[in-house]
Amino acid sequence: MSSENAFEITFLPDNVKVKAEVGESILEVANRGHIHINASCGGEGVCGRCQVELREGQVTASPGLYLSEEDFAQGLRLACRAKASGPATLYIPIESRADASSFKKAAKAEENLAVDERDPMVIQYNLEMTPPDAADNAADLERVTQALAASDLRDLDIELGALKKMPQVLRDENFNVRASVFFEPAIADPSRPPYGRLLSLSKATLDETYYGLAVDVGTTSVWVRLVDLATNAPCPAIGNLNAQISFGEDVISRIVYASKGNGLQKLQSQVIETINGLLARLEENYPKFRDRLYLMTSAGNTTMSHLLVGVEPKNIRLSPYAPPVAAWPSIRPSFLGLDVPSHTVMKIFPSVSSYVGGDIVAGVLAAGLYKNPELTLFIDVGTNGEIVIGNQDWMTCAACSAGPAFEGGGVKCGMRAAPGAIEEFFYEPARKEHRLGVIGRGRPIGICGSGLINIVAELFRGGVISKQGKYVENSCPQVREGEDGLEYLLSPASESAGEKDVVLTEIDIENLIRAKGAMFSGYQTLVEAVGLTMGDLERVIIAGGFGSSLNLENAIAIGLLPFLPLEKFAYIGNSSLTGASLALMSRSMWLQAQNIRGMMTNFELSETPGYMDKYMASQFIPHTDGALFGL
Contact residues: a copy of itself, CB under 8 A: 132-134, 137-142, 145, 149, 154-158, 160, 163-164, 166-168, 184, 186-189, 192-193, 195, 309-312, 314-315, 319-327, 329-332, 335, 351, 353-354, 604, 607
Q: Which DSSP state fits 617?
A: H
With a CB cutoff of 8 Å and minimum separation 6, the contacts of 349 are 297, 298, 299, 300, 305, 328, 357, 358, 359, 361, 362, 579, 580, 583, 593
Write down the least CB distance from residue 301 to a copy of itself, Å. 14
Classify 192 as helix, strand or coil: coil
E strand map for 457-522: 479-482, 485-491, 502-505
Nearest to 209, CA basis, from 234, 230, 180: 230
Classify 247 as helix, strand or coil: helix
| Cα–Cα dist 585/211, whole Å | 10
Write down the least CB distance from residue 167 to a copy of itself, Å. 4
Write down the least CB distance from residue 268 to a copy of itself, Å. 10
CA distances from 564 to 374, 498, 568, 570, 618 (A): 15, 39, 7, 12, 17
| 3-state SS string for 265-331 | HHHHHHHHHHHHHHHHHHHHHCCCHHHHEEEEEEEECHHHHHHHHCCCCHHHCCCCCCCCCCCCCCE
Write down the least CB distance from residue 323 to a copy of itself, Å. 5
Nearer to a copy of itself, 392 or 595 (CB): 595
Nearer to a copy of itself, 145 or 253 (CB): 145
Q: Which DSSP state fits 187?
A: S
Cis peptide bond upstream of 13, omega within 30: yes
Write down the least CB distance from residue 356 to a copy of itself, Å. 12
Write down the least CB distance from residue 196 to a copy of itself, Å. 10
Write down the least CB distance from residue 200 to a copy of itself, Å. 14
Phi, psi torsion values for 59, nearest 5 degrees: -135, 160
| Cα–Cα dist 187/602, whole Å | 20
Write down the least CB distance from residue 174 to a copy of itself, Å. 14
Nearer to a copy of itself, 328 or 425 (CB): 328
Nearer to a copy of itself, 330 or 595 (CB): 330
CA distances from 124 to 105, 197, 209, 211, 340 (A): 37, 12, 10, 11, 19
Write down the least CB distance from residue 121 to a copy of itself, Å. 14
Nearer to a copy of itself, 384 or 454 (CB): 384
Number of Cβ within 10 Å of residue 558's Cβ equals 29
Write down the least CB distance from residue 544 to a copy of itself, Å. 23
Number of Cβ within 10 Å of residue 473's Cβ equals 9
Write down the least CB distance from residue 581 to a copy of itself, Å. 25
Nearer to a copy of itself, 187 or 243 (CB): 187
Write down the least CB distance from residue 188 to a copy of itself, Å. 4
Number of Cβ within 10 Å of residue 485's Cβ equals 11
| Cα–Cα dist 415/40, whole Å | 19
Nearer to a copy of itself, 162 or 542 (CB): 162
With a CB cutoff of 8 Å and minimum separation 6, the contacts of 511 are 403, 405, 410, 411
E strand or H helix that includes residue 217: strand 211-217
Q: Are 521 and 617 in contact (CB under 8 A)?
A: yes
Nearer to a copy of itself, 196 or 410 (CB): 196
Write down the least CB distance from residue 425 to a copy of itself, Å. 42
Nearer to a copy of itself, 139 or 612 (CB): 139
Nearer to a copy of itself, 188 or 206 (CB): 188
Nearer to a copy of itself, 164 or 371 (CB): 164
Nearer to a copy of itself, 2 or 319 (CB): 319
Nearer to a copy of itself, 146 or 209 (CB): 146
E strand or H helix that includes residue 365: helix 358-367
CA distances from 445 to 26, 153, 419, 504 (A): 30, 61, 8, 12
User: Which pairing describes strands 395-401 and 433-438: parallel, antiparallel, or unpaired?
Assistant: unpaired
